[in-house]
């Protein structure tokens, strides 16, 4: 039977460490502050933002929340970001995605000052990641690596398949896993031979958002599954992989919920601490 990669338990441990980091910064008169921006009223975003707000409070990070109507122009939004870049009281800035269609999200990534880029989406930080200088890593990727490290999963030389090529998860996860000497393959919506690739994989990271994408007969014995998918079907939350079919074959697997998700929010707060320290060095 597979080891269940328990992100919920690990997130609680990380939370305690962040609390200590924040206390230490506060004892030096530094008050880490994240500004979280919501554009429009996406219901899923509201849930994530609530989780972020709750955790920030628990670890003692100041949270400033800004909400803009969905009609806000791209120019006005970018101007707001530029103001926050200049605000010395703000250490970290993030715009919750998705944003309305008339706003080009890459313009948001390009505008947030790299030293306040809690999400790690700025091209400078993404470039650093590909260089192997990975101080700032997108939160979901940090969450994946935290699980891999905690459970001593060896990635060096392993056939590692990433399904999904987003700027938020797939691409930076590829960079980080390459930095750790994994042999990385990327699959995406135009891939024609997915089951051939999954069968050859020692480790599968899936971030597609499609339930039942990877089934039991598509994986080999001993596979490690990191399921980043978060899908709702008939009121149930589930990942991209067919969990019940794969558990008997896998050596390790993340549950959904309770795997990568809880660690993502904790990773974001960790990143606020890292950026605050960098800004005060
Ligand atoms: N929406 C879903 N995941 C993320 C994330 O990691 N960062 C931001 N900013 N928005 C998201």
Can you spell out the DSSP letters for 8-61? HHHHHHHHHHHHHHHHHHHHTT---EEEEEEES--HHHHHHHHHHHHHHHHHT-
Radius of gyration of the chain (CA): 19
Q: Is the pLDDT of residue 209 over 80?
A: yes
Which residues are bridge partners to 238 per DSSP? 231
Residues of the chain above pLDDT 90, percent:
98
Q: What confidence tens digit (pLDDT) does each residue in 164-198 have?
A: 999 999 999 999 999 999 999 999 999 999 999 99
| Percent of the chain whose pLDDT exceeds 70 | 100
119 lines ligand 1 (CB under 6 A): yes
In this prediction, residue 133 carries a pLDDT of 85
pLDDT bucket at 229, cuts 50 / 70 / 90 = very high
Domain ranges of the chain: 29-113, 139-261
DSSP tag of 241? B
Residue 50 annotated as binding site? no
Tens-place pLDDT, residues 141-158: 999 999 999 999 999 999
What is the model's pLDDT at position 14? Answer: 96
CA distance linking residue 132 with residue 91, whole number of Å: 24
Ligand 1 atom showing the smallest separation from residue 97 Cα: 10
Predicted confidence (pLDDT) at residue 263 exceeds the cutoff of 80: yes
Collapsing DSSP to helix, strand or coil, 269 comes out as helix
What secondary structure does DSSP assign to 144-155, as a single string?
Answer: HHHHHHHTT---
Q: Compute the mean pLDDT over every residue in the chain, rounded to the nearest whole number.
A: 97
CA distances from 101 to 38, 108, 210 (A): 14, 13, 22
Cβ–Cβ under 8 Å, residues 152 and 183: no
Whether 106 shows a pLDDT value over 80: the answer reads: yes
User: Ligand 1 atom closest to Cα of 168?
Assistant: 6
* Distance of CA 97 from the midpoint of ligand 1 (Å): 5
Pocket test for ligand 1, best of 119, 122, 208 (most atoms within 8 A of CB): 119
Q: Which atom of ligand 1 is nearest to the CA of 94?
A: 9
Determine how β-strand 224-227 pairs with β-strand 203-206: parallel
CB-ligand 1 contact for 168 (6 Å cutoff): yes
- Closest CA to ligand 1's atom 4: 97
Q: Is the pLDDT of residue 1 over 90?
A: no
Environment class of residue 1 by beta-carbon count within 10 Å: exposed (0-12), middle (13-18) or buried (19+)?
Answer: exposed
Residues marked as catalytic: 52, 96, 119
What confidence category does residue 242 fall into, taking pLDDT thresholds of 50, 70 and 90?
A: very high
Fold of 29-113: Rossmann fold (3.40.50)
For atom 11 of ligand 1, the residue with the nearest CA is 97
CA dihedral 112, 115, 116, 120 (to 10 degrees): 70
Q: If you measure from the C-alpha of residue 249 to the centroid of ligand 1, how many angstroms do you get, rounded to a whole number?
A: 31
Q: Phi/psi at 224 (nearest 5 deg)?
A: -105, 130
List the CATH code of the domain at 139-261.
Answer: 3.40.50.720
What was the pLDDT predicted at 222? 98
3-state SS, residue 95: strand
Which burial class, exposed, middle or buried, applies to 243 when counting CB atoms under 10 A from its CB (0-12, 13-18, 19+)?
buried
97 lines ligand 1 (CB under 6 A): yes
**Ligand 1 center–CA 217 separation, angstroms:** 32
Please give the pLDDT value at position 135.
Answer: 80
Answer yes or no: is 76 a known binding residue. no
Q: Read off the pLDDT band of 219 (50, 70, 90).
A: very high
Nearest Cα residue to atom 3 of ligand 1: 97
Structure tokens at 43: 């219901």
pLDDT exceeds cutoff 80 at 134: no
- The predicted pLDDT at position 227 comes to 98
For 69, other C-beta atoms within 10 Å of its C-beta total: 9
Question: What's the pLDDT tens digit per position in 22-37?
Answer: 999 999 999 999 999 9
Q: Do domains 29-113 and 139-261 have the same CATH topology?
A: yes
Ligand 1, residue 95: give the atom nearest the CA. 9
Do residues 148 and 5 lie in contact, with contact meaning Cβ atoms separated by under 8 Å?
Answer: no
């Amino acid at each position: 039977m597979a080891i269940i990669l328990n992100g919920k338990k690990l997130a609680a441990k990380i939370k305690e460490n962040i609390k200590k980091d924040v206390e230490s910064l506060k004892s030096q008169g530094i008050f880490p502050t994240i500004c979280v921006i919501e554009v429009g009223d996406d219901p899923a975003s509201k849930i994530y933002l609530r989780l972020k707000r709750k955790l920030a409070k628990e670890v003692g990070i100041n949270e400033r929340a800004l909400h803009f109507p969905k009609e806000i122009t791209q120019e006005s939004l970018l101007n707001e970001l530029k103001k926050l870049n200049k605000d010395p009281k703000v250490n970290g800035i993030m715009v919750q995605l998705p944003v309305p269609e008339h706003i080009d999200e890459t313009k948001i990534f390009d505008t947030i000052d790299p030293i306040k880029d809690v999400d790690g989406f700025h091209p400078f930080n993404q470039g650093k990641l590909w260089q192997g200088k990975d101080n700032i890593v997108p939160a979901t990727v940090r969450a994946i690596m935290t699980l891999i490290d905690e459970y001593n999963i060896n990635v060096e030389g392993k056939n590692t398949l990433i399904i999904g090529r987003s700027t938020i998860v797939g691409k930076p996860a590829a960079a980080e896993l390459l930095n750790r000497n994994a042999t990385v393959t990327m699959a995406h919506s135009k891939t024609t031979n997915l089951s051939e690739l999954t069968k050859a994989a020692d480790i599968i990271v899936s971030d597609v958002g499609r339930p039942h994408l990877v089934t039991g007969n598509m994986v080999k014995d001993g596979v490690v599954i990191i399921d980043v998918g978060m899908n709702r079907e008939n009121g149930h939350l589930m990942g991209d992989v067919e969990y019940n079919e794969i558990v008997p074959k896998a050596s390790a697997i993340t549950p959904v919920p309770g795997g990568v998700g809880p660690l993502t929010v904790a990773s974001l707060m960790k990143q606020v601490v890292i950026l605050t320290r960098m800004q005060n060095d």
